[in-house]
Amino acid sequence: MPTLKDISKLTNVSISTVSRILNHDASLVVTEETRHNVIKVAKELSYKPSKKSIHNEHYTIAMLHWYTREQELEDTYYLSIRLGVEKACHDLGIKVVKIFYDDPKPENTYCHGAIAIGKFDHKEITAFKLLYKHVVFIDSSPDDNQFDSVVIDFESAYLTSIKHLQNLGLIDIGYIGGREYTHSLKLPIGEKRETFFKNYFKSQKKIYIGEFTIESGYNLMKQAIQENNLAQAYLVASDAMALGVLRALYEANIHVPNDVSIIGFNDIPQSAYTIPPLTTVKVYKEHMGYKALNLLLERIKGRTIAEKVVVQTELIIRKSTKEL
């Protein structure tokens, strides 16, 4: 099978330029003679582009992270999304420039578009618009009319979780969650799970708010235990927090699920190996990454109408909640 390398040798044109010519890259500046010669040789060799290279090999995209590298390791939710984007890019032959929040100012590398993972403030979004023609957001939707986005249906996820607990006869349900803040103004970002919980129960009792970390989950549950304010069950806003919650309950000799049932959120790999294994809401993070990349490619190729993709979740029932 002839390759790009074969065409490059016969035409004395670099492999990357050959690829961009055959992929009809309008931004490429070459002479008509060079373009014609490359196409002619490709036809003579009966060259057929691989599925991986069709229309994508010449693209470079920026991946913008709301988290720092350290934060990403603490709660692997965004890490899993990033890996989903990276895998999709690898499968399609797309180059990725990764930019974390704590990185120094990146080099001036041209990118065809960007995928922004996390929740960004107005100042950051304005900067993105100046740097990138197309931006797709994952886990936030700052402007449905302007930007494509991929988000989770948090409300449906929590309604399913609450109904599951209620079907088990658990009526007294508490919430342990975290808050996130904008980078520039340090303002709290609305937490849809917390808002839904408060609206559903019309109460703020047995609600404990900290950070999305193991340590915070541990400290918040210890606080609830010390205040003698335990609910029959808790919705915990991340699996990382749930790891700390389980540790605090274990140290207090409070049995899960006989005394307290726990439901986490994210379904990180460790969730299946906690004691007891954690019931949790599975988020299809890799799928979110793939969808975001597909949206970005559609934008690059000419779509002008903004789209918002809402990805459903699944309640994974393990041993941290009572059985029927």
Sheet holding 148-152, edge to edge: 95-99, 60-65, 113-117, 135-138, 148-152, 308-311
51 in any annotated domain:
no
Instruction: Kindly state whether residues 147 and 127 are assigned to the same domain.
Output: yes
Instruction: Kindly state whether residues 159 and 114 are assigned to the same domain.
Output: no
Q: Give φ, ψ of 210 to 5 degrees.
A: -145, -120
What separation in angstroms does the CA of 89 have from each of 48, 82, 92, 125?
Answer: 21, 11, 5, 23
Please check the confidence at residue 74 and state whether its pLDDT lies above 80: no
Query: Is residue 264 within 8 Å of residue 271, measured between CB atoms?
Result: yes
**Cα 44-2-23 angle, rounded to 5 deg:** 80
CA distance 177 to 213: 10
Instruction: Kindly state whether residues 252 and 169 are assigned to the same domain.
Output: yes
Instruction: Kindly state whether residues 165 and 197 are assigned to the same domain.
Output: yes
**Total number of domains constituting the chain:** 3
Q: Which domain holds residue 33?
A: 4-44
Instruction: Kindly state whether residues 197 and 146 are assigned to the same domain.
Output: no
Instruction: Kindly state whether residues 37 and 127 are assigned to the same domain.
Output: no
Query: Is residue 264 within 8 Å of residue 236, measured between CB atoms?
Result: yes
**Which DSSP state fits 322?**
-
13 in any annotated domain:
yes
Query: Is residue 243 within 8 Å of residue 214, measured between CB atoms?
Result: yes
CA distance 236 to 221: 10
Please check the confidence at residue 196 and state whether its pLDDT lies above 50: yes
Q: What is the CATH number of the domain that holds 122?
A: 3.40.50.2300
Instruction: Kindly state whether residues 34 and 175 are assigned to the same domain.
Output: no
320 in any annotated domain:
no
Give 140-169 pLDDT, tens digit per residue: 999 999 999 999 999 999 999 999 999 999
What share of the chain has pLDDT > 70, as a percent? Answer: 92
Instruction: Kindly state whether residues 146 and 291 are assigned to the same domain.
Output: yes
Instruction: Kindly state whether residues 196 and 224 are assigned to the same domain.
Output: yes
Residue 214, SS3? helix
Q: Say how many CA atoms lie within 13 Å of 47 toward its Cβ.
A: 23
Instruction: Kindly state whether residues 174 and 195 are assigned to the same domain.
Output: yes
How confident is the prediction for the chain on average, in pLDDT? Answer: 88
> Locate tokens 């409070």: which residue?
254
Structure tokens at 61: 């995209």
Query: Is residue 166 within 8 Å of residue 160, measured between CB atoms?
Result: no
54 in any annotated domain:
no
Instruction: Kindly state whether residues 76 and 163 are assigned to the same domain.
Output: no
289 in any annotated domain:
yes
50 in any annotated domain:
no
39 in any annotated domain:
yes
Please check the confidence at residue 25 and state whether its pLDDT lies above 70: no
CA distance 220 to 120: 27
What share of the chain has pLDDT > 90, as a percent? Answer: 56
254 in any annotated domain:
yes
CA distance 101 to 64: 8
Per-residue pLDDT at 134: 96
pTM value is 0.78
Instruction: Kindly state whether residues 184 and 145 are assigned to the same domain.
Output: no
The per-residue DSSP string of 11-42 comes to HT--HHHHHHHHTT-TT----HHHHHHHHHHH
Give 204-250 pLDDT, tens digit per residue: 779 999 998 999 999 999 999 999 989 999 999 999 999 999 999 99
